[in-house]
Amino acid sequence: MEDSIEVILQDAGRVFPLSTPHPILSACTGALLAGLYGVWSLFAMPGCRKIPWRLKVPYLPSSKDQTLNVMKLLEGRTGHLADLGSGDGRLVFAASSAGFQCTGFEINSILVAYARSKALWTGVPPNQATFVKKDFWKTDLSSYNNVTAFLAPGVMELLGEKLLKELPDDARVIACRFPFPNWPHQSSAGSSLNETFAYDISAVRSHLRNAPNTAA
């Protein structure tokens, strides 16, 4: 939010490996991306009416601190990771450089295309960062036990229900900025806007069993 456009510009500069990020080229790429995103919202959004209005989540890139806090809470874990709503792929790239094989689910085709081309330009192997243009509400997530989500406050409760139904007991879920209501977190990193929460599904399940009135 606070630095989204700077971050996009900065990232756009990194896509094209110039000796130093060229300010004019970065600005052009940033403007192009913003423009494409505007076009997408105008024309493609109506096509996404399948997603109920209350489940719509805006694109809001995570800040450097938020990304670092997510990585902190993933420390010690490896293997496959799913990022729900991967945006321009910044969390996926951070996780893949930390050794995860990461799949980003993203419904906005422009962001998917951008993330894929960024992977190509920066030479991230496809098995380490995969971007899938898919609605995660309609995706079975039961094969993942490492999940990250930076979404919106209004969808966290419903997402919590979905994850409790699908994820295995040993799953760890990282929520960036917006916590799951009624879930006890194992640990957190950062504060205020940068705060990131880690949940162990087995602990959440046993907590909700012992306090069934708060279970949704």
Ligand X SMILES: *[C@@H]1O[C@H](CO)[C@@H](O)[C@H](O)[C@H]1NC(C)=O
- Output helix, strand, coil percentages for the chain, rounded to the nearest 5: 50, 15, 35
Residue 166 sits in the site that holds ligand X (CB under 6 A): no
Strand order in the sheet with 101-106: 129-133, 101-106, 80-84, 146-149, 172-176, 196-200, 187-189
Residue 72 sits in the site that holds ligand X (CB under 6 A): no
Residue 105 sits in the site that holds ligand SAM (CB under 6 A): yes
* Whole-angstrom distance, CA of residue 83 vs CA of residue 96: 11
> Nearer Cβ to ligand X, position 110 or 190?
190
Tell me, by CB under 6 A, how many residues bind ligand SAM.
Answer: 22
> Nearer Cβ to ligand SAM, position 135 or 157?
135
Cα torsion at 32, 34, 38, 43 (round to 10°)?
A: 60
Residue 137 sits in the site that holds ligand SAM (CB under 6 A): yes
Q: What b/e sequence results for 40-63 when a residue is b if at least 16 CB atoms lie within 10 Å of its CB, and e otherwise?
A: beeeeeeeeeeeeeeeebebebbb
Residue 79 sits in the site that holds ligand X (CB under 6 A): yes
Residue 96 sits in the site that holds ligand SAM (CB under 6 A): no
Which of ligand SAM, ligand X, none does 91 bind, CB closer than 5 to 8 A by kind? Answer: ligand SAM
Residue 57 sits in the site that holds ligand SAM (CB under 6 A): yes
Nearest residue to 61 via CA among 125, 99, 108: 108
Which of ligand SAM, ligand X, none does 99 bind, CB closer than 5 to 8 A by kind? Answer: none
* Whole-angstrom distance, CA of residue 110 vs CA of residue 89: 12
Which of ligand X, ligand SAM, none does 78 bind, CB closer than 5 to 8 A by kind? Answer: ligand X
Residue 194 sits in the site that holds ligand X (CB under 6 A): yes
Residue 160 sits in the site that holds ligand SAM (CB under 6 A): no
Residue 140 CA from chain centroid, whole number: 17
- Residues within window 120-159 making contact with ligand X, judged by CB under 6 A: 144-146
Residue 196 sits in the site that holds ligand SAM (CB under 6 A): no
Tokens describing residue 22: 């060229």
Selected range binding ligand X among 41-49, 106-114, 190-198, 203-211, rule: CB under 6 A: 190-198
> Nearer Cβ to ligand X, position 127 or 192?
192
Helices 23-43 and 4-15: crossing angle in degrees, nearest 10, is: 110
Residues that bind ligand X (CB under 6 A): 63-65, 77-80, 144-146, 190-194
